[in-house]
Amino acid sequence: MNNRIEKVNSLLQIEIGKIILKDFAFSPEILVTLTRVDTTANLIEAKAYISVFPEAKATGIINALNKSVYDIQYKINRTLKMRPIPRIRFVKETEISKAAKIEELLFKASEQDKGSGEVEKK
């Protein structure tokens, strides 16, 4: 990935994060995080990855963000002095949940290893 794309990703992540924080009032028991932004090489589209806890609320939150994407896009267009500004699309972050599942499986495996070690000692 070239330096310009990295800078655009970082800039968009900061600006989208500010807008989400300022303009959206999520329930206090819901944690919404903008984890990363991936912009295409031609700067036409940017995927904003959203992580939601509890995960059961993710679809509703992402749908709400995508319904408001034109307002968000308008604010970014007014704030940033670059052209073109990529079209934003919100998607569910899956890498974090994959990592959590792997971690859980590793923990279970280590617990089973401890259990089998004790059985062998007897």
Give 58-89 pLDDT, tens digit per residue: 899 999 999 999 999 999 999 988 888 999 99
For residue 1, give the 3-state DSSP assignment.
Answer: coil
This prediction has a pTM of 0.76
DSSP calls for 38-96: EE-TTSSEEEEEEEEESGGGHHHHHHHHHHTHHHHHHHHHHH---SSPPEEEEEE--HH
Token representation of residue 99: 């990592």
Q: What residue ranges define each of the domains in the chain, with the CATH number in brackets?
A: 3-94 (3.30.300.20)
Asked if residue 99 has pLDDT above 90, the reply is no
Asked if residue 45 has pLDDT above 70, the reply is yes
User: How far is the C-alpha of 22 from the C-alpha of 37, rounded, in Å?
Assistant: 19
At CA 87, angle to CA 83 and CA 92, rounded to 5?
A: 140
